[in-house]
Amino acid sequence: MIEKLFPEESKVYEVLLITRSNMTPVGITRIGKFLYFKIFQGKSFDDLKKDNSVVIQIIDDPEILVALAFNFPISLKLEKCEKLELNRVAGYPWVEGHADCKVISVKDSLGESLARKCKVSPIYVGITQKTPRPISRADNYLIELGVIGSRALYALKKNLPIGTRLFKEVEKLYWEYRRLGGKSKIAEEIYNLCKNYL
Ligand SMILES: Cc1cc2nc3c(=O)[nH]c(=O)nc-3n(C[C@H](O)[C@H](O)[C@H](O)COP(=O)(O)O)c2cc1C
């Protein structure tokens, strides 16, 4: 069943990670029957120390993923899980599982930071019927804007030299998004948030 949800091994899929007190997008991969993700310090990182219960949801609406990454207010209909004491977003397929995590140190262009590297053993897979959203290049740009925007904000707040280069990327992604018909306020907010730190 898990192979149906994540058909290609080792490909990174952008999904929603739900822990005891937080929801945030993460990139996951599937290898065999297990799912893998890496989460940097924050609320989900802290949650996973106390409780290894996780829900992974396939959400094909980038606005939901990106809004949750930036903690922008968004109203979501929640429902109870089948096996875990966690809520999930109604209407989207989900995987309930236990995450086995270890703390690692990650070195990248933003410096050195701690992360939890987690392997999820699924205990329940829930399938929903939903009309698929058509593919939109604007949506792809919004996802990229979310990813690069969160890196740019981090760098700009810490005054790292890479901050200005990341902002230029944010600017390009934002205008491409608009050019392709994207109208979400979320995109504008990310762009303005970054701009305010310049
Ligand atoms: C599409 C998308 C994918 C993301 N993937 C990850 C990820 O795999 N790991 C991670 O630590 N942060 C990822 N982020 C950034 C987190 O959402 C962001 O750092 C968030 O603030 C996590 O902090 P929190 O746990 O306190 O909510 C992603 C953001 C977006 C928009």
Give the sign of the dihedral formed by CA 92, CA 102, CA 38, CA 34: negative
**What is the position in ligand 1's atom list of the atom closest to the CA of 27?**
8
**Pair 104, 117: CB distance under 8 Å:** yes
Which residue's CA is minimally distant from atom 7 of ligand 1? 26
- In a 3-state reduction of DSSP, which class is residue 99? strand
pTM of the model: 0.97
End-to-end CA distance of the chain: 47
pLDDT score, position 141: 98
Give the pLDDT of the chain (198 residues) as one tens digit per residue.
Answer: 899 999 999 999 999 999 999 999 999 999 999 999 999 999 999 999 999 999 999 999 999 999 999 999 999 999 999 999 999 999 999 999 999 999 999 999 999 999 999 999 999 999 999 899 999 999 999 999 999 999 999 999 999 999 999 999 999 999 999 999 999 999 999 999 999 998
Report, at the CATH architecture level, how domain 2-126 is classified: Roll (2.30)
126 dihedral zone (left: phi>0; alpha: psi -120 to 50; beta): beta
- For residue 143, give the ligand 1 atom closest to its CA: 1
Give, in degrees to the nearest 5, the angle at Cα 98 between 9 and 35: 10
CA of 23 to the centre of ligand 1 (A): 10
Q: How far apart are CA 97 and CA 104, in angstroms?
A: 21
**Of 89, 88, 95, which is closest to residue 35 (Cα–Cα)?**
95
